[in-house]
A and B are shown apart, each in its own frame.
Chain A
Amino acid sequence: MQKRLFGILASIAVIVAACGGATTTSPPQASTAPGSSTTPVESAAPSAADLAADQTLHIGLDGEPPTLDPNKAQDSTSIAVLHALHRGLLYLDAKGQVVPALATALPTVSADSKTLTFTLKDGLKYSNGDPIVAGDFVYSIQRTLDPRLAAPYAYVLCEIQGADLLLGAALGCGSKTAPTADADIAAALAKLGVAAPDDKTVVITLARPATYFTSVLALWIAVPVQKKWITSANATEAANYVSSGPFIMTDWKHNSSIVLKPNPNWSGDVKPTLTEIDMAITQEPAQQQAAFENGEIAMVATPSEDIQRVKADPVLGPQVQEIPTTAITYYDYNNGVDPKTLKPFAKCASPKACPTTNKDFRIALTQAIDKTAFINATFAGVGAPANSFVMPGIAGYQKDLDPYPFDLASAKTHMATALAALGVPDAASLGKLKFGFNTGGGHEPRVAFLAEAWRQAFGLQTEQIGSEFSVFLTQRTAGLYDIARDGWGADYPHAQNQLGLFVCGGGNNDIQYCNPDFDKLMAQAAGEPDQTKQTDLYEQAQTILFNDASMLPLRFGLTTYEIAPYLGGITISINDSRLPGDAQYETMFIKKQ
């Protein structure tokens, strides 16, 4: 009972935090399988004797999906459902490798590495019985890139020839201005490098060689979309929904539940064993935890406040699985380059006003932090210290890239150098540095840990500014903080998706970083077809980024789940969105108990 009560109190804390109204959107929470010993991959088909009579899977869904329009989706809740409903030409397998899905094989690549040709499998059909034709892939890509749709993930298709004409500089692609008139948009769409010479062939032409592009085509935005369907009224409601993947949506009671059933027209090799997936929509992690303990749902991401109790529990403990996520916790240093003018901020004209523009100062801050102690103190010891920005399991991950390890003596030396350059006698004379974070996300202890470490090491004063989520994001983008909380979850397992953040003027370059050498290596790497050479280029770029002490990488994510013992066939992959194996529900089954 004592343990339960402890759990209750913890749950209350969660709710209090949750009521802050923060909406931490969506680093799609992928999880890695490779090299993880705690993650059994059971993909062998079960024999009928082992199966329970009722093959209904009950799980929770964290909130109402904002949209189930594949071209428009951007958050992990929507993606968790879309993965079951749709498949594209390619998909990611359990190892994070790109494999063919609706295409017969990986694309035929032209000699200049710029043209990818796909052939569709025979007899592909949508859930409504219509054939899946090559033109639907073309339409889907065109629609995503159409500025009138304003699709949030359009920029990942930037490498397609002609995409820069549609998206333009303002949408983070090329240097042109995006067209606004319907006729201009239509003309630009016609010139786009996607074509369907016949119903079974899709040809994609890239502006420059981009070897990572097959990873992009495995994303939820690049699935076939039937124009007749998506342009019809209430297309994304259950009654009208047309899917190309292993499951169909038979019911969507908004804000209450989503029901999926096997797609009779699914032609994939693995047919679903589950006869129904019943997703209960609930916003409250504590409620999901209670539902799991009550046997109502088969899996749950353990709320962080419950982790200690659950692990110690004799019944729940053995059901715990810890799965690495391709996500990183880091803190921004303001490198001081205005992303709009690419010059130092006006307010940083006097370096004293922006001490984080000084490299020695950033090195000092970095060396004053013991990452392991940070994780133990503020993440209950869950997670691994991050000494690389590219995450484990992705090519370009550098396990021991740590030019400025925890070393207080060295930190103090660098601080002395920095203070001399800044022309102040001691760190306290710099005044209070602005240290921004968003409230309601559990970041307070982490911010306090870092601020206190810096105060103890250098006597550095910080003003810890906690703001509501949206306010915080606005201020952080505008470069108004000296130090700020940040995080990133991989969209697709490729170094480009992670290091690409820090390209000069990039939309997510919250550290206001700008280094031409880094940008040059990034461009080279994107065009390098040889895998080994490419990875080497990304590693060189990452080394520059780290040698500049441009930000403070702290922790690679690890998520704690509880999985009911009766659930089998979970294919854990880097592509999972919210729950283990949710990218491939078709392999899951309920064991006989």
Chain B
Amino acid sequence: MIAYIGRRLLWIIPVLFTVSVITFFLMHSVPGGPWDREKHLPQGTQDRLNAQYGLDQPIYVQYARWAGAFIQGDLGPSYRFQDRTVNDIVADGIWTTVQLGVMAFLLAVAVGIPLGIFAALGHNKAPDYIATSISIIGIATPVFVLGILMTVFFAVQLGWFPTGGWKGPQYWVLPTIALAGFPIAIIARYTRASMLEVTRKDYIRTAQSKGLRDQAVVSRHMIRNALIPVVTILGPTLAFLVTGSFIIERIFGIPGVGQYYITAIGTRDYSLLMAMTMLYAFAVAFLNVVVDVLYAYIDPRIRYS
């Protein structure tokens, strides 16, 4: 098992390498550069800045330099925020983003799974319709619509929460719910489908014919088995929440790093973009390993060697 985990973790390295090469070369092949402004910088200023940041070097030299620094933990200078390094920027915002992502994830699990179970147990009856409606709305409503609706109703109209910022627990509520909306719906739907499939299994019929109480059948036999496929999507969901909160961070003015993932593209902030891409790639790859390992604990049929 340990050997398996070690092997899987080592595999992350070639994954990151491939992602970095593709991103680096794609990024530099897009026209434009970090010094583009509506009011042009004089060409000489741009040349000098390019020389200072090594952007005048051949692209493979730039990659080699970037990779060398990255291995040593140096993410490079930010081109947009010239007085700061990418390490500073990431260190400033990463924990806010992770906190927001983890809170939204816990909320999504805490609401999504019971909602799915609730729907499955009341299959084709009122509970199912209610839960399914909620999850369809959750899937169909883009996160920015949910975010702004919540701002308008709960902040501007009712005045219960501030409209933005990140200064204390009352600031966490709206963004966390807004960010959790979509994963709640997805998790609920997976759970429901998975529960329904398990309901038809022989071992459930066996359990029921043994005369076990319904509650025991559901909790001991159905839910445990039904959760295996749900765990599959939890890994990517967590990765998505931790790194994909760009829009929510923007709408609620949250000082995380998620928003840089998109703004760095627009400003051609190459080093910041690389840092964010590597972070995302690592989060997805690592959490997938975690999920695979969790399988072994949840499903006795799965054993790694």
Contact = CB atoms under 8 A, between A and B. Distances in A.
A333 B11 CA distance: 55
Interface string A169-182: 11111000010000
Contacts of B43: 170-171, 507
A204 to B, nearest CB: 22
A15 interface: yes
Interface stretch (B12-20, B65-73, B142-150): B142-150
A471 interface: yes
A133 B84 CA distance: 29
Interface residues on A, range: 35 or more
B83 to A, nearest CB: 5
Contact of A152 (B37, B155, B252): B37
A282 B152 CA distance: 17
A284 B253 contact: yes
Contact of A470 (B32, B156, B247): B32
A151 to B, nearest CB: 8
A330 to B, nearest CB: 12
A431 to B, nearest CB: 24
A432 interface: no
Contact of B32 (A18, A256, A474): A474
A287 B252 contact: yes
A97 to B, nearest CB: 24
Interface string B16-55: 0000000000000011110011111111110111001000
B111 to A, nearest CB: 24
Nearest to A509: B40
Contacts of A151: 45
Interface in B60-92: 80-84, 88-89, 92
A170 B81 CA distance: 24
A150 B32 contact: no
Contacts of B267: 23, 470
A296 B156 CA distance: 10
A281 B39 contact: no
Interface residues of B, number: 57
A287 B150 CA distance: 12
A287 B36 contact: no
A468 B32 CA distance: 9
B250 A296 contact: no
A473 B159 CA distance: 43
B206 interface: no
A25 B267 CA distance: 10
Interface string B242-282: 00001100111101100100110111100000000000000
Contact of A147 (B44, B165, B268): B44
Contact of B164 (A7, A72, A173, A287): A287
A27 B38 CA distance: 8
Contacts of B252: 287
B81 A471 contact: no
A585 B244 CA distance: 38
B144 A12 contact: yes
A67 interface: yes
B236 interface: no
B253 A21 contact: no
B232 interface: no
A291 B163 contact: yes
A22 B266 contact: yes
A168 B48 CA distance: 12
A4 interface: yes
Interface in A1-54: 4, 7-8, 11-12, 15-16, 18-27
A74 B37 contact: yes
A28 B40 CA distance: 14
B19 to A, nearest CB: 20
A280 interface: yes
A372 interface: no
B89 A170 contact: no
Contacts of B31: 470-471, 474-475
Nearest to A168: B44
A161 to B, nearest CB: 19
Contact of B251 (A15, A172, A470): A15
Interface in A53-95: 64, 66-69, 72, 74
B93 interface: yes
Contacts of B44: 147, 167-172, 178
Given A24-B38, A150-B48, A508-B39, 14 more contacts: A12-B144, A16-B144, A19-B262, A21-B265, A255-B93, A256-B165, A280-B253, A282-B253, A283-B250, A283-B263, A284-B253, A290-B151, A474-B33, A474-B36
Instruction: List 5 A-B pairs, minimum CB-CB distance, nearest first.
Output: A470-B32, A170-B44, A21-B266, A282-B253, A256-B255
11 contacts: A15-B144, A15-B251, A154-B45, A171-B45, A253-B255, A255-B92, A283-B253, A284-B251, A286-B251, A291-B164, A468-B266
